[in-house]
Chains A and B, each alone.
Chain A
Amino acid sequence: NAGVTQTPKFQVLKTGQSMTLQCAQDMNHEYMSWYRQDPGMGLRLIHYSVGAGITDQGEVPNGYNVSRSTTEDFPLRLLSAAPSQTSVYFCASSTQSHGQGIYEQYFGPGTRLTVT
């Protein structure tokens, strides 16, 4: 049981390049989400998904796209990278109750992205 995995661990992009951050979980969790962490800001929610085919925006969605075609995978796409997207990105997953919301979140190891 690997939990939540993320690839790559590190990435350097030039402004305007595109890339996809990968996230996978093997716990059969319906709920998955992406966060970014900037110094002094804590973690901020980018996008989340309550199940395959369903995604929604979080606090800071601009510049990022997501899709959820399977329960296991939730990739995050940067279509045209900007220096403001330099950050550490975390993926998380959890079970959920459709009446009570999300339960305990489990986080991946993170991807450190630098945009020059």
Chain B
Amino acid sequence: GIQVEQSPPDLILQEGANSTLRCNFSDSVNNLQWFHQNPWGQLINLFYIPSGTKQNGRLSATTVATERYSLLYISSSQTTDSGVYFCAAAQGSTLTFGKGTMLLVSP
């Protein structure tokens, strides 16, 4: 099946800093999503982005499907951005998750 790799595995930022999270996938996909798992364990949909670029406030994402990667940008980070960020890629009827990037934003 498809392999999904995320980098970096851990990231520590000062509040106000910017960051880029990367997601590589090993094969063509029909769906790419980014999620934020908050400290209470809830999975929050950030972006559904099989290709192209989307923005939502301080967050944006870009997927280059032909090169098999996606990027999540977080600008002006806040302490509430802390948690684990997952990307997940779908082939047909199955969705495969990466192992996540754990982000800690300190005040």
How many of B's residues come within 8 Å of A, CB to CB? 23
Q: A105 with B95: in contact, given A59-B1, A110-B41 (CB under 8 Å)?
A: yes
Provide the A11-28 mask, 1 if CB < 8 A to any CB of B, else 0. Answer: 000000000000000000
Residues of B within 8 A of A96 (CB): 93
Number of chain A interface residues as a range? 20 to 34
B43 close to A100 (CB less than 8 A): no
A41 & B99 in contact (Cβ 8 Å cutoff): yes
List chain A residues, Cβ under 8 A from B48.
103-104
Min CB distance B63 to A, Å, is: 13
Query: In the complex the two chains form, is B94's CB within 8 Å of A43's CB?
Result: no
Interface residues of B in 80-101 (CB under 8 A from A): 86, 88, 90-100
Q: Are B88 and A105 in contact (CB under 8 A)?
A: yes
Binding site of A, secondary structure by majority: helix, strand, loop or mixed? strand
Please indicate the chain A residues that have their CB under 8 angstroms from the CB of B97 in the complex. 35, 42-44
CB distance from B32 to the nearest CB of A (A): 10
Residues of B within 8 A of A (CB): 1, 30-31, 33, 35, 41-43, 45, 48, 86, 88, 90-100
